[in-house]
Amino acid sequence: MGSKNPPAGNVIQGRCPTCGAPSEAATRPFCSKRCRDVDLSRWLNGSYAIPGGQADADEDGDEAAMRSGGHATGSQDDDESR
């Protein structure tokens, strides 16, 4: 059976995710600093976003705990009432 690893000396070269050019070792997986910066800019501008479902207004659960009659943990009010 053949080995899954390439023989020594053979370099597997990927493609730049921004422009598709062969990637360079210094900026891997990108081909250049420019493509790396373009990708970073896309992340910072929100172009890359993971789609999600409808989020609750209060994601930490404080409002849900208060509605159910329970107490939210870690609030300052709990410490003052003791």
Asked if pLDDT for residue 71 goes beyond 90, the answer is no
pLDDT digits (tens, 9 = 90+) for 26-40: 999 999 999 999 999
User: Model confidence over 10-23: pLDDT tens digits?
Assistant: 455 799 999 999 99
pLDDT (average), residues 55-79: 60
Confidence (pLDDT) at 28: 93
59 within some domain:
no
What residue numbers bound the domain in which 43 lies? 13-47
Q: For residue 18, give the nearest of 8, 5, 33, 7 by alpha carbon.
A: 33
How many beta carbons lie within 10 A of that of residue 25, not counting itself? Answer: 7
Q: How far apart are CA 6 and CA 13, in angstroms?
A: 12
CATH number at residue 18: 3.30.50.10
In a domain, 17, yes or no: yes
* 71 vs 73: CA distance, rounded Å: 6
In a domain, 68, yes or no: no
pTM over 0.85: no
Instruction: Return the pLDDT at 44.
Output: 93
Dist. CA 30–CA 79, nearest whole Å: 52
Tally of domains within the chain: 1
